[in-house]
Amino acid sequence: MEKNTEFASKIKSIRERQNMSIEELSENSGVKLEVLEAMEAGEIIPSLTPLTKMARALGVRLGTFLDDTPQIGPVVTRAGKPTNSLYFSGREDVTNATNLEFHSLGAGKIDRNIDPFIIDIAYEEGEKELSSHEGEEFIYVLEGEIEVIYGKDTFTMSEGDSIFYDSVVPHHLHASGEKESKILAVLYTPY
């Protein structure tokens, strides 16, 4: 999980480049101070909801947290060579548990408006926490079966199925059954 340590350093670096204290980021993003401190220390694995709020408060794209070297031209990701893999929690609370492995397909592309990912979703037990953030999400199931809770509706989706939704509506997705799943997710987050 060395990548998550690099990720934690990147969050802190972006915040410091903007001359923003961690307290100001907490106030501007609505993310609890103790959660931000734990994230920057690499002690917890965040979910997308606080990251989206932080990106908006910092005036950067969500994908900025994943980027390495900026590319002016197209970004090519070869099959079987995942780069910029990061692990996230599907839970919004403070946790070290992870069930989502993100493989960025757009890392390095500057001035992009969407963030495409291949996401491996491990089976997770327990109550599902819904979260919301500004933007839109497109999900295409590549392998396995997932369940998407969107507001009061629940959709079971299999290989080849897709869903496109406004992410301001509380939502959650997870592998259904006890098997791992894989999806293509394209996220749009305004900043």
- Residue pLDDT tens, the chain, 191 long: 455 667 778 888 888 888 899 999 999 999 999 989 988 888 887 777 788 888 888 888 777 776 655 555 677 777 876 565 654 544 444 444 467 888 888 877 777 788 899 999 988 877 788 888 888 999 999 999 999 999 999 999 999 999 999 999 999 999 998 889 999 999 998 76
pTM: 0.68
Show Cβ contacts of residue 21 under 8 Å, excluding neighbours closer than 6 positions: none
Instruction: Answer yes or no: are the C-beta atoms of 87 and 101 closer than 8 Å.
Output: yes
Classify 159 in phi/psi space as left (phi over 0), alpha (psi -120 to 50) or beta: beta
Residues 80-107 pLDDT 10s: 765 656 545 444 444 444 678 888 888 7
Domains of the chain: 2-65 (1.10.260.40), 85-188 (2.60.120.10)
